[in-house]
Amino acid sequence: DGDSASSGSGNSGDDKIVLGFSQVGAESGWRTANTKSIQDSAKEAGIELKFSDAQQKQENQIKAIRSFIQQKVDVIAFSPVVESGWDTVLKEAKDAGIPVILTDRAVDSPDTSLYKSFIGSDFVVEGERAGDWLVKEYAGKTEPVNIVELQGTTGSAPANDRKKGFADKIAAAPNLKIIASQTGDFTRAKGKEVMEAFLKAHSDIDVLYAHNDDMGLGAIEAIEGAGKKPGVDIKIITVDAVKDGMQALADGKINFIVECSPLLGPQLMELVKKVKAGEAVEARILTNETTFTQEQAKAALPTRQY
């Protein structure tokens, strides 16, 4: 909706700021909560939001950004599905005088003048927190620990960084070994499918590290389908801490979750206003996050917002 009113200038007479936002897709519970946060906070801030869903495809995001440029929106924000390949379209926005804000995921463009700010998590730290927990869990043990890894979308910042942070930390314990690692595209269906293949190929999996809750939840179905007990026969670590993940953690099917907050909307709208007013903004805004054990999940669940 809203597309019919989009010809000509983004400013439709009143002084409402027009924000074009290109979302990754609807691949996970995290993403759904993120979309809601952005839509709700735009409304609250009195910002007109042109929202576009790229269905996990970079070409769709590039199209959406070009369309926002054509519509002369005031500010463009987007969550880049992958890290590479943005220089050209970001240059087009810059040449058109439209400021860009990155949310959630990073780009690898060397020219940081192509965007005003980047708001979101430190995914390397998230991977490190997952790795730290595992190293502690097996402290003092020397038997081999076989880990399988479900990676997020190939080429995305969270997949690259969560893999790296985890690998860096488990390197401290030579018996902790990743025996298989594949993408599950951040979805439940893919997580299940890839875990089924892992279980067929390896009879001796001790640990699953999934780059998000949804893939972990899909994998739990695969593990149960293979007659094993998730959280007991195979220990599971995930990232995000959305409600379904937290429930599985409280139920003992997941062992540890590293939080990644999707509630970026309010801070994004603050940034949009500042950027529109020509005020200086911080180049990097980090989200505050924690981790959850099974006991902590039980305590947090009743008041969890998403």
Footprint on this chain of ligand GYE (rule: CB under 6 A): 27-28, 30-31, 104-105, 158, 186, 212, 214, 239-240, 260
**Whose Cβ is closer to ligand GYE: residue 221's or residue 244's?**
244
CB of 292 vs ligand GYE, minimal distance in Å: 15
Give me 45's structure tokens.
């801030």
CB of 135 vs ligand GYE, minimal distance in Å: 22
**Whose Cβ is closer to ligand GYE: residue 74's or residue 185's?**
185
CB of 271 vs ligand GYE, minimal distance in Å: 18
CB of 72 vs ligand GYE, minimal distance in Å: 28
Q: How far apart are CA 228 and CA 215, in angstroms?
A: 17
Question: With left for phi above 0 and alpha for psi between -120 and 50, is residue 22 left, alpha or beta?
Answer: beta
**Whose Cβ is closer to ligand GYE: residue 92's or residue 244's?**
244
**Whose Cβ is closer to ligand GYE: residue 28's or residue 61's?**
28
Q: What is the DSSP string of 88-131?
A: HHHHHHHHTT--EEEESS----S-GGG-SEEEE--HHHHHHHHH
CB of 44 vs ligand GYE, minimal distance in Å: 23
Question: With left for phi above 0 and alpha for psi between -120 and 50, is residue 19 left, alpha or beta?
Answer: beta
**Whose Cβ is closer to ligand GYE: residue 10's or residue 152's?**
152
Distances (CA, A) of 235 to 142, 148, 169: 17, 10, 17
CB of 120 vs ligand GYE, minimal distance in Å: 7
**Whose Cβ is closer to ligand GYE: residue 27's or residue 83's?**
27
- Which DSSP letter does residue 205 get? -
**Whose Cβ is closer to ligand GYE: residue 6's or residue 28's?**
28
Closest C-alpha to 64, from 32, 92, 29: 92
CB of 54 vs ligand GYE, minimal distance in Å: 12
Question: With left for phi above 0 and alpha for psi between -120 and 50, is residue 161 left, alpha or beta?
Answer: alpha
Q: Name the burial class of residue 53, with classes exposed (0-12), middle (13-18) and buried (19+) by CB atoms within 10 angstroms of its CB.
A: middle
Helices 243-250/29-45 angle, 10° precision: 130
